[in-house]
Amino acid sequence: MRLPTICLILLLPLFASAQEGVFPTTDIRSRLMGGTGLTATGIDGIWTNPAGLAGTPDQLQASATAEQRFGISELSFANVAAAYGTKNGGFGLQLASFGFATYRENRIGLAYGRQLTDNFSIGGDLAGFSTTTDGYAATFDITFGLGMQLQILEELAIGARIFSPVRTEVRPDEYLTQIIAVGLSYRPSDKITLNAELHQDADFPARFRAGLEYLPAEELSVRLGVATEVAELSFGLGYEVIERLDISAGAVWHEVLGLWPSVGVRWR
């Protein structure tokens, strides 16, 4: 095993404290808005809150995101997702992968969201995580999450989510990530969306996340975000190249580990 590979494996706990492999997993829009998205709907909510799938129209939506974290090819990450709405709610499929040949994490998940009243939706997701490391037995673990969304006013919504509420041990003294999150979204106009959220990981301090999306033109989106503990800044653009298809690109700056680029597409 080459020395760089050994170093990467030893440093994985540090990388995990900044980004837990395939979880938390976000779409490109959420990534560039500081990791917020508890009130997102349709394909934009498939990773951030399953309750958002209740707002999926009766047509196929899909997304894909790719990152090279901190400029290290061995820390590449990618996910794809699809969502479809029916009269009985919205359904979603999630696939994600992180790592390199010697260490890899994969995730597969199913999600569902349903609208209970005009203003209130709930949802849940079931996820399987596999981890393979040279020299160790592969692991596969299953967990679940729950979410809700409430539209208080036309311009104000709140969302909440819990992921992996039951402590799941992967290896001795090593557990799947547990997160409880709550937040709100304010849209003072059709061109501006402001998100503010609090995320509590069971193993790390609570993180405040905030995001802004501004639409200076119908086809163009400008996105900014910030997170605390450890500090992150995110920024990027989205552009609708043809009807229903937009491409986004941007980057996240981490105060300890540096910069990583993100790109993604959405078909809505």
Strand partners, 253: 233, 259
Q: Where is mean pLDDT largest: 5-19, 57-71, 109-123? A: 109-123
Q: What is the pLDDT of residue 162?
A: 96
Question: 15-24, 65-74, 111-120, 147-156: which has the minimum mean pLDDT?
Answer: 15-24
Q: What is the pLDDT of residue 25?
A: 82
CA 19/CA 63 separation, integer angstroms: 20
CA atoms within 13 A on the CB side of 167: 8
What is the chain's mean pLDDT, rounded? 90
Residue 17 confidence class, pLDDT cut points 50, 70, 90: very low
Q: What is the pLDDT of residue 23?
A: 72
pLDDT at 175 over 90: no
pLDDT at 166 over 70: yes
CA 203/CA 13 separation, integer angstroms: 12
pTM: 0.90
CATH number of 19-267: 2.40.160.60
143-165 per-position pLDDT tens digit: 999 999 999 999 999 999 999 99
Residue 16 confidence class, pLDDT cut points 50, 70, 90: very low
106-135 per-position pLDDT tens digit: 999 999 999 999 999 999 999 999 999 888
DSSP codes, 4-24: HHHHHHHHHHHHHHHS-TTSS
Residue 189's Cα: distance from chain center in Å? 25
CA 115/CA 40 separation, integer angstroms: 14
For 6, list phi and psi in degrees, rounded to 5: -60, -45
